[in-house]
Amino acid sequence: MAERRLRTVGLLGTTQTLAWASSYYLPAMLAAPMARELGVSVPMVFAAFSAALIVSAVLGPFAGRAIDRFGGRPVLAGTNLIFALGLAGLAVADGPMSLFAAWIVLGVGMGSGLYEAAFAALVRLYGRSSRDAITGITLLAGFASTVGWPLSTLLEASVGWRGACLTWAALHLAIGLPLNLLLPKATPLTEPALQEEASAGPADSSAAQQRPPARRVAFLLAFVFAATWFISTAMAAHLPQLLQASGASLTAAVAAGALVGPAQVGARMLEYGLLRRLHPLLSARLATLMHPLGAATLALVGAPGAAAFAVLHGAGNGILTIAKGTLPLVLFGPHAYGARQGLLMVPARVAQAFAPWLFGLCLDRWGAGALWLTSGIGLAAAGALLWMPRVGSTTASSAPARA
């Protein structure tokens, strides 16, 4: 059983790395050459990317509901075809209309093929015992930018940005699709089975009494996810410019920014080891404080604090990525996890779509003082988590796996 689960984590970790590298991390390296050849501005390319994120927000709940019923294998395998189609569309784009059309197709793939879908696939297979598996795929896919950015840059230099998009499309068909088809098959749930599972409720009355008010918790979680994704996306788009505004040289800013990825992976390893013994709420509360703490360090020390800021921000972001999968599982249980996860992430996707533009405006106006905005948002997220009741077992992995 452990070997099968490890195999599933390896498959999903690999396909998630491919999915993130060829969608979310694609514009950072290819937006400029796309804009030059298509005769549009770089902000217009990112506007098309934002449109894709809005589409992903709309489709997320539907994809989650499909995974709840049929399991992750057919949905995730289908997204490889969608990603390939969208990337091929980008490769043949000849103007703004076709650019936006291709990104909208990619948005369909992102709404049903990134972390939320992978988490739902794991919960559909393993139920409450999915926490370690969720951590495992984020450990592997945490290297998506490490793989994606250099590979996109290399491909653009050798075969152009169109050839790079076609290469990513081919990788989805040659690697992503076969690996997702190797995922364990979940028994489809019929409508009567779904109704029976929904009516079963908690195992006993004491469990029902311990369950937190669902609506309040859902609103708080949705706010926390939106707040933390806003911060994460804003930093991903503007971190080097922000550090330069704090007094760091370009070389120092790039070097500090390179620490974010390793810090994320290191924090996820810590979550897999030490923090797995803690309730996910506690680790999430600590993680939301990392960005404000790093911002305070940068404000007090200036440019010499750039590396500390990058490490603290990256560590918090790494743990919060896991929390997005484990908190809904612990607080609500595995029933209808995919649909609920999709709904909870709608505000986060919208916040993610507008974060680069809004934070860019703040950075242009206030310089490094723009960190007051993201720090305040981070503290608000920490406050929301403190207001949330602590329920469930001390780990999300204590219950037996489902077949």
Q: Is 160 exposed, middle or buried (0-12, 13-18, 19+ CB in 10 A)?
A: middle
What end-to-end distance do the CA atoms of the chain give, in Å? 11
Please check whether residue 299 is in contact with residue 389, taking contact to mean a CB–CB distance below 8 angstroms.
no
Q: Which domains does the chain have, with CATH numbers?
A: 2-187 (1.20.1250.20), 206-387 (1.20.1250.20)
* Vertex 169: Cα angle to 344 and 258 (nearest 5): 65
Query: Tokens 């989805």 correspond to what residue?
Result: 172
* Nearest-angstrom CA–CA distance, 60 and 343: 7
Q: Which tens digit of pLDDT belongs to each residue from 70-95?
A: 888 999 999 999 999 999 999 999 99
Q: What is the pTM of this model?
A: 0.79
Mean of all residue pLDDT scores within the chain? 83
Portion of the chain with pLDDT greater than 70, in percent: 88
Q: What is the DSSP letter of 184?
A: P
DSSP-H helix ranges across 172-212: 177-181, 191-200, 205-210
Distance CA 147, CA 250 (A): 22
Decide if 63 contacts 342 (C-beta within 8 A). yes
What distance in Å separates the CA atoms of residue 308 and residue 268, rounded to the nearest whole number? 18
Beta-carbon contacts of residue 345 (< 8 Å; ≥ 6 apart): 57, 60, 116, 222, 225, 324
Quick: pLDDT tens for 202-253: 443 444 444 556 778 888 999 999 999 999 888 877 787 788 888 888 888 8
Q: What is the DSSP letter of 276?
A: G
Tell me whether residue 219 is exposed, middle or buried, using C-beta atoms within 10 angstroms of its C-beta: 0 to 12, 13 to 18, 19 or more: middle
DSSP character for 400? Answer: P
